[in-house]
Structure 1
Amino acid sequence: MPYSFYKNLDLPPLQKIRMTLQMADHSITHPHGIIEDLLVKVGKIIFPVDFVVLDMKEDEELPTILGRPFLSTTRALVDIYDSMLTLHVEDEEITFEMNQKVSYDKPRDEVLRMNNMEGENLNEIEEIEN
């Protein structure tokens, strides 16, 4: 989450975190902190999500990407054949059709990916060329 976005919202104080991120341009940055267990509503279900807060340009058109820890928390089931993603919390579930295209007003020339490298406590963001 961009730091400017964090400042504009009424969110709890940031917790310090020892993390190093390598950006797509191979520069190294350190987050301002982390917000743990922030409640996020997806459809009709509310999930606790952790957000790492970075000094970066705010872009309303670029969606927030929720990674593997979120998918694990939600007991996500990914059906590649039918292009479906199902999230679960207790008795509730929500299903998304993944073959539906998402469009933005501005074309994007880049895609970013963030990997959590276990053991080294290092997160890496790499640019994927189209």
Structure 2
Amino acid sequence: MVEDVIVKVEDCYYPVDFLVVDYVGCVEDTQPIVILGRPFLATANAIINCATGMVSMKFGDQELNLNVFSKIY
């Protein structure tokens, strides 16, 4: 467990804890898997729209909207 890490997403900063999991992926995997747990989603006031793939997060007066269906490289 890695605790009390400040993570920057776009222009927003979030306090998070990480649980490191041993993962062996396929050779074809180009991106690591990131699991956003309930504590992080609650801290970020996340709203997830499963139909459109949009995730809205708010922290203080900052807001971030991400499309989880688009590829991120």
TM-score, scaled to structure 2: 0.72
Query: Does 2:6 match 1:39?
Result: yes
2:16 partner letter? V
Q: Which residue number corresponds to residue 126 of structure 1?
A: none
Paired positions, count: 69
Please give the alpha-carbon distance, in whole angstroms, between the structure 2 residues aligned to 1:35 and 1:42: 18
Q: Which residue number corresponds to residue 84 of structure 1?
A: 54
SS in 1 for 2:16: strand
By how many angstroms is 1:57 displaced? Answer: 6.1
Q: Percent identity?
A: 33
SS in 1 for 2:19: strand
TM-score, scaled to structure 1: 0.44
In the TM superposition, what are the counterparts of 1:41-80 in structure 2 within 5 Å?
41-54=8-21, 56=22, 61-80=31-50
In the TM superposition, what are the counterparts of 1:1-130 in structure 2 within 5 Å?
34-54=1-21, 56=22, 61-102=31-72
SS in 1 for 2:15: strand
Please give the alpha-carbon distance, in whole angstroms, between the structure 2 residues aligned to 1:86 and 1:76: 5
Please give the alpha-carbon distance, in whole angstroms, between the structure 2 residues aligned to 1:81 and 1:53: 30
Indicate the RMSD between aligned Cα atoms, in angstroms: 2.6
By how many angstroms is 1:78 displaced? Answer: 1.0
Please give the alpha-carbon distance, in whole angstroms, between the structure 2 residues aligned to 1:65 and 1:71: 10
